[in-house]
């Protein structure tokens, strides 16, 4: 069985501060991992994905995530938060067949001016 766990349903950071959103996965086989972002009243859009090519993955808008197999983690970071980063962030996992994607429960990011 596969699943993802996102620690912290709400995260608040000051503008300019480091953003760290946590995601841990459980998978019996090497997974594919994704981070999606949902802005208010919009659908989800891809931030970045891990497909085993490199453990440090860079995405859009300055976000990046590092795959750590020993910790079964795929945490999302951004060095300096911007007001426009306020959104809901979802971690997701799929397996090689791509039949299903499993989403975490989401983390709502608030950026304080």
Partner 1 sequence: DADVTQTPRNRITKTGKRIMLECSQTKGHDRMYWYRQDPGLGLRLIYYSFDVKDINKGEISDGYSVSRQAQAKFSLSLESAIPNQTALYFCATSQGTGGANVLTFGAGSRLTVL
Q: Which residues bind partner 1 (CB under 8 A)?
A: 9, 31-32, 34, 36, 41-46, 49, 51, 90, 94-101, 103-106
Q: Are 86 and 110 in contact (CB under 8 A)?
A: yes
The nearest distance, CB 113 to partner 1, in angstroms, is 25
Least distance to partner 1 from the beta carbon of 86, Å? 17
The CA dihedral of 56, 45, 21, 49, to the nearest 10 degrees, is -20
Q: Three-state SS string across 57-68, please?
A: EECHHHCEEEEE
Cβ proximity to partner 1: between 47 and 81 the closer is 47
106 phi, psi to nearest 5 deg:
90, 150
- The nearer residue to partner 1, 26 or 80, going by C-beta atoms, is 26
Using the minimum distance from each CB to partner 1, give the nearer residue, 14 or 26.
26
């Amino acid at each position: 069985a596969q699943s993802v766990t996102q620690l912290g349903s709400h995260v608040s950071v000051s503008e300019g501060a480091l953003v760290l959103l946590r995601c841990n996965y459980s998978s019996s086989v090497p997974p594919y991992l994704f981070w999606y972002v949902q802005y208010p009243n919009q659908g989800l859009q891809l931030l970045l994905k891990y497909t085993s090519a490199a453990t440090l993955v860079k995405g859009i808008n300055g976000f990046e995530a590092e795959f750590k197999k020993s910790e079964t983690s795929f945490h999302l970071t951004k060095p300096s938060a911007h007001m426009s980063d306020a959104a809901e962030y979802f971690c997701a996992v799929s397996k090689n067949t791509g039949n299903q994607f499993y989403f975490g429960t989401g983390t709502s990011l608030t950026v304080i001016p």
